[in-house]
């Protein structure tokens, strides 16, 4: 007999050699029907695998990430079979599951695959799936594996097999199709009910541009047609919400190849928006005891050697700038922290002065490969809403909690209400990767966990994801489409105070080391604006939006009165526009709706004669004819309420 422990901790004994799926059936037939993959003692297994030792069994459905992974991995086998049957002579290479679906890299020889082929491939995959073939794993000797692929003249697979040792090579069979594979499948192809080929792109064999370029065929599959439909709808909505499109429409920012890729150019409306975000944060930070500092865009190479950033990132950063006479070397600032350490070092602190909190909207530059750049979310120059807190060890808990509070306040004011936290700790088996004393690491990791628990954050822990200099807490925000974005970070650092020899005089009159906290609620202004635009589809909160109200006179006769209304509104510090084009009223209203301005004021004869306005909100709420004073109260209340 063997003892199997399930995820909930329950234990049960079974006869040796019992299949995973039979254990699931023993729990309940209905439950077993939804099980599509499993892991045993932390290793992926097939649901048909027989177990013959004690261990922990995890059973996955489509709703688990592991379940999806097995589903998409298995779908890539079906894709490979379909391609082999449709385009005889193609050579298959690798085909993994990815975050959303799967791909297969294929050498099509001279055949060019385009989106015209997608229908055909999808139909073939579905017809294979319907035949309900079981996925079956088998071990194969290295010799036989090489022989198999020699027959197919597939040197790619032979190269992969040559990297494996005899005894660890397995094949997966389904239908008449065989692939080199490590395992992790759904029970059979019949579960795959809906398939979409989403894209084709070039990809070099083994990601090396000296090698042959292959065709990467991307796809996604689902156990229900309804799920595919939802996915496609979401994709369409995401396209509409693309911040690059909205940013252009709202005249917020632009890019120029002459200036350089990944270097956003902010337009006047975008600058106003940024300024409002900055002012909002400056005000909140001032209340929380932060002081503003400004540091230059470049720093001496020695500074980053001292901080350790050069050792870690030097190779991947922009190359240094040399002064012509002295031959001094400068780097574009990749981080603000070393500069802030030197500000701290510019005077002597006693324990009574701590915590010291320096904040800066600091622009930093980091090299990203051109292929990685994307709108405002992946850029080469960006402005962090950065701050560094220098405190004593016993202030760490409170400071960390205060930073969480400030971050939550920011999210709340911006309508980002669906978030979780990810806490990144050391990989316990790889401790040489990290700089600093083990004991202080433990202390800071505990401080983060304690603060997260006390603040009731919904968090998960990732071991091995900590930065080399300290553990951290990242806020992940889910947007309106359920997509996850990484936003603000809070990071404890015992390392930089050491490297910069930061000290303060303690109660005991001796010299002590402060602890440093790095934090940025927005992350970067660029990325934050992008996420806001995509989350709100451009309908920014009233306090933040570029134009809060637009005045639409229904004929030229009311221009004078409309201008008077505009002046009064602007005097009340409300951002307003006057649409004095000679267009029809319905056209003006439609354009105002499209430009997502929250309020519309319509001025006609009645309004003009009675010294009133007619007010409508974006989305159609009609307030009727009201006094301007009432409009001020409405807008004031709406801003206060969020």
The footprint of Zn ion on this chain (CB under 5 A) covers a number of residues equal to 4
Q: Are the beta carbons of 471 and 422 closer than 8 angstroms?
A: no
- Residue 388 C-beta: closest distance to Zn ion, Å: 6
Spatial CA neighbour of 185 closest among 65, 35, 45: 45
Binding of Zn ion by 359 (CB under 5 A): no
Binding of Zn ion by 69 (CB under 5 A): no
Q: Is 340 a catalytic residue?
A: no
Q: Is 518 a catalytic residue?
A: yes
Active-site residue (options: 172, 181, 337, 391): 337
Binding of Zn ion by 518 (CB under 5 A): yes
Active-site residue (options: 386, 402, 479, 579): 386
Binding of Zn ion by 20 (CB under 5 A): no
- Residue 187 C-beta: closest distance to Zn ion, Å: 13
Active-site residue (options: 216, 274, 366, 588): 366
Binding of Zn ion by 172 (CB under 5 A): yes
Active-site residue (options: 388, 426, 527, 596): 388
Q: Are the beta carbons of 424 and 472 closer than 8 angstroms?
A: yes
Spatial CA neighbour of 220 closest among 333, 428, 75: 75
Cα separation, 404 vs 519, whole angstroms: 10
Of 73 and 588, CB closest to Zn ion: 73
- Residue 523 C-beta: closest distance to Zn ion, Å: 12
Of 172 and 529, CB closest to Zn ion: 172
Of 395 and 495, CB closest to Zn ion: 495
Bridge partners of 425, per DSSP, are 463
Active-site residue (options: 81, 285, 384, 548): 384
Binding of Zn ion by 180 (CB under 5 A): no
Of 185 and 241, CB closest to Zn ion: 185
- Residue 102 C-beta: closest distance to Zn ion, Å: 10
Q: Annotate each residue in 281-320 with x if it binds Zn ion (CB under 5 A) or - if it does not, as one string.
A: ----------------------------------------
- Residue 403 C-beta: closest distance to Zn ion, Å: 13
- Residue 153 C-beta: closest distance to Zn ion, Å: 22
Q: Which stretch binds Zn ion (CB under 5 A): 166-174, 215-223, 315-323, 530-538?
A: 166-174
Binding of Zn ion by 83 (CB under 5 A): no
Q: Are the beta carbons of 227 and 193 closer than 8 angstroms?
A: no
Cα separation, 565 vs 579, whole angstroms: 13
Q: Which stretch binds Zn ion (CB under 5 A): 113-121, 168-176, 215-223, 264-272?
A: 168-176
For residue 234, what is the enclosing H or E element? helix 225-240
Spatial CA neighbour of 544 closest among 636, 637, 413, 385: 413
170-174/136-139 β-pairing: antiparallel
Q: How many helices (H) and strands (E) does the chain have?
A: 20, 35
CA 116, 117, 118, 123 dihedral sign is positive
Q: Is 505 a catalytic residue?
A: no
| Residue with tokens 């319905």, as numbered in its chain | 586
Give the relative orientation of helices 155-162 and 142-151 as an angle to the nearest 10 degrees: 170
Among 180, 181, 542, 613, binds Zn ion (CB under 5 A): 181
Active-site residue (options: 518, 519, 527, 616): 518
Residue 460 CB-density burial (10 A; 0-12 exposed, 13-18 middle, 19+ buried): exposed
Cα separation, 355 vs 339, whole angstroms: 18
Binding of Zn ion by 496 (CB under 5 A): no
Q: Is the N-terminal amide bond of 507 cis, ω within 30° of 0?
A: no
Binding of Zn ion by 339 (CB under 5 A): no
Among 337, 451, 554, 597, binds Zn ion (CB under 5 A): 337
For residue 613, what is the enclosing H or E element? strand 613-617
Neighbours of 399 (CB within 10 A): 24
Q: Are the beta carbons of 131 and 155 closer than 8 angstroms?
A: no
Binding of Zn ion by 366 (CB under 5 A): no
Which residues participate in catalysis according to the annotation?
Answer: 337, 366, 384, 386, 388, 472, 518
Binding site for Zn ion (CB under 5 A): 172, 181, 337, 518
């Amino acid at each position: 007999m063997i003892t199997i422990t399930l995820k909930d901790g329950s234990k049960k004994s079974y006869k040796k050699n019992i299949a995973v799926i039979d254990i699931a059936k023993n729990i309940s037939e209905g439950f077993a029907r939804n099980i599509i993959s499993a892991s045993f003692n932390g290793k992926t297994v097939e649901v048909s695998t027989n177990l013959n030792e004690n261990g922990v069994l995890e059973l996955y459905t489509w709703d688990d990430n592991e379940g999806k992974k097995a589903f998409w991995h298995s779908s890539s086998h079906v894709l490979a079979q379909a391609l082999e049957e449709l385009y005889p002579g193609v050579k298959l290479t690798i085909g993994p599951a990815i975050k959303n679906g799967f791909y297969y890299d294929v050498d099509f020889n001279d055949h060019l695959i385009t989106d015209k082929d997608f229908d055909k491939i999808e139909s073939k995959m579905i017809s294979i799936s319907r035949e309900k073939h079981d996925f079956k794993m088998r071990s194969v000797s290295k010799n036989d594996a090489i022989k198999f692929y020699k027959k197919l003249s597939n040197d790619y697979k032979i190269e992969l097999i040559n990297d494996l040792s005899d005894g660890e090579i397995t094949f997966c069979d389904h239908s008449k199709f065989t692939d080199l594979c490590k395992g992790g499948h759904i029970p059979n192809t019949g579960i795959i009910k809906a398939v979409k080929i989403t894209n084709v792109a070039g990809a070099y064999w083994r990601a090396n541009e000296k090698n042959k370029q292959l065709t990467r065929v991307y796809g996604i599959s689902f156990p229900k047609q309804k799920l595919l439909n939802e996915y496609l709808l979401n994709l369409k909505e995401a396209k509409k919400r693309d911040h690059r499109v909205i940013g252009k429409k709202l005249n917020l920012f632009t890019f120029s190849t002459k200036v350089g890729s990944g270097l956003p150019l902010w337009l006047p409306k975008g600058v106003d928006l940024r300024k409002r975000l900055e002012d909002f944060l400056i005000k909140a930070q001032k209340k929380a005891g932060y002081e503003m500092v400004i540091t230059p865009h470049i720093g001496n190479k020695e500074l980053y050697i001292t901080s350790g950033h050069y050792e870690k990132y030097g190779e991947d950063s922009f190359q240094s700038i040399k002064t012509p006479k002295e031959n001094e070397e400068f780097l574009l600032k990749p981080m603000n922290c070393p500069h802030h350490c030197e500000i701290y070092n510019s005077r002597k602190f006693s324990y009574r002065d701590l915590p010291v909190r320096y904040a800066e909207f600091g622009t930093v530059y980091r090299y990203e490969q051109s292929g990685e750049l994307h709108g405002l979310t992946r850029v080469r120059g960006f402005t962090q809403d950065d701050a560094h807190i220098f405190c004593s060890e016993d202030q760490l808990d409170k400071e960390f909690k205060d930073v969480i509070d400030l971050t939550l306040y920011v999210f709340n004011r911006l309508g980002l209400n669906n978030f979780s936290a990810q806490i990144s700790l050391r990989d316990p088996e790889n401790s040489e990767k990290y700089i600093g004393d083990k004991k202080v690491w433990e202390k800071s990791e505990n401080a983060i966990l304690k603060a997260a628990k006390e603040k009731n954050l919904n968090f998960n822990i990732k071991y091995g994801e900590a930065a080399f200099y300290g553990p951290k807490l990242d806020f992940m925000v889910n947007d309106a489409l359920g997509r996850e974005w990484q936003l603000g970070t809070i990071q404890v650092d015992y390392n930089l105070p050491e490297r910069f020899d930061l000290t303060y005089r303690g109660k005991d009159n001796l010299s002590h080391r402060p602890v440093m906290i790095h934090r940025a609620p927005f992350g970067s202004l660029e990325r934050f604006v992008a996420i806001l635009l995509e989350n709100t589809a451009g309908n920014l909160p009233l306090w933040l939006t570029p134009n809060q109200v637009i005045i639409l006179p229904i004929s030229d006769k009311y221009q004078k009165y409309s201008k008077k209304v505009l002046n009064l509104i602007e005097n009340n510090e409300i951002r307003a526009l006057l649409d004095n084009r000679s267009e029809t009223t319905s056209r003006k209203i439609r354009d105002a709706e499209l430009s997502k301005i929250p309020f519309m004021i319509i001025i006609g004869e009645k309004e003009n004669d009675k010294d009133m306005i007619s007010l409508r909100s974006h989305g159609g709420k009609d307030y009727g004819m009201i006094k301007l004073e009432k409009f001020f109260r409405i807008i004031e209340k709406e801003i206060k309420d969020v």
